[in-house]
Amino acid sequence: MGFAGLNNKIKTGLSPCLWMQAGVVRSKYCRSFYDCTTCRFDEAMMRAVDENRTMAPKGKSYGKRRKDIVHWIENLMGMPSSKRPCIHHMKGRIDFKNCGHDYRCFNCDFDQYFYDQYSVHAVVKPVDVLNVHGFKIPQGYYIHKGHAWVKIEEGQTVRLGLDDFALRLLGPLDHVEAPLTGKRMKQSNSQIVIKRGDKTATILSPVSGVVTDVNPRLREEGGLANKDPYTDGWIVRLHSENLRNELKDLYIGSETKEFMEKEVRLLYDVIGESGGLLNTDGGFLGEDIYGKMPQIGWERLAGLFLRT
């Protein structure tokens, strides 16, 4: 199976959870594209596993059903090595392949090969898009208050960029400069720089982590972000070690809708205060708002909406 389009194998609501595939629970289906880091069910199961491990040496348990809960990897380790499925097979990405590394993926050459190929070729294309007053936010993307987005790809690896609202607000960019590979980024710190002519602004990082990849095209083709903000316009990829906790500070789903509605109202107020009248496209604000109304001020727009 090729790497392009691998996500077509994973269907929300139809893919069996890893805990189900390993036989720990009878019936549970994944609705988050195997994003275990943000799954409440996975969190609850891991809590039960830890509690059982604590109680077992004391000869205590939480009852038969609760006592039987062990980590899904432990269940699979009871199978012959030739029948232990690779985690990429369990996630529907490849045909059957057995795991020969006791699920220690960090020590697996195939996992590294798959990860490298997957990260290059499988940029997730948004499927369902949330439309808020003409501004688009893909479902499943987390949004920071400074309008940077986060898309979880695999485990603790995320891809991030700037959302449609900010890009249409500030107009076509000339350059986007990001920290080099290996550099550490911190949540809500200004470490990404965007440029348009002689104007510059910084973007707050939505999560912390170590940079693993930088989109080189944006350094010379900043406008690419405006054309495809959620796919080809990605800025960096990070390995985020505190992802579960930091995602709590971001918006997703209905929270994003509420946040964006407030931002649009604020933008209309700013336009009104400047004495401007902006042409709309189909009843919505159009492209390049700053370019059409420079009197609002680049610094003011960046400060208000990028929170810098």
Q: What is the pLDDT of residues 55-87, one digit of tens each?
A: 766 555 555 556 578 999 999 999 999 999 999
This prediction's pTM: 0.65
Q: How far apart are CA 180 and CA 191, in angstroms?
A: 10
pLDDT at residue 1 tops 60 = no
The CATH classification number of 125-308 equals 2.40.50.100
The domain ranges of the chain are 6-121, 125-308
**For 254, phi and psi rounded to 5 degrees?**
-65, -30
> 104 or 27: which carries more pLDDT confidence?
27
- Tokens for 83? 């029948």
Contact predicate 88/105, CB 8 Å: no
Q: How far apart are CA 119 and CA 113, in angstroms?
A: 10
What would the mean pLDDT of 140-148 be, rounded to a whole number? 95
pLDDT at residue 12 tops 50 = no
Please report, for the chain, how many H helices and E strands are present, in that order.
Answer: 13, 15
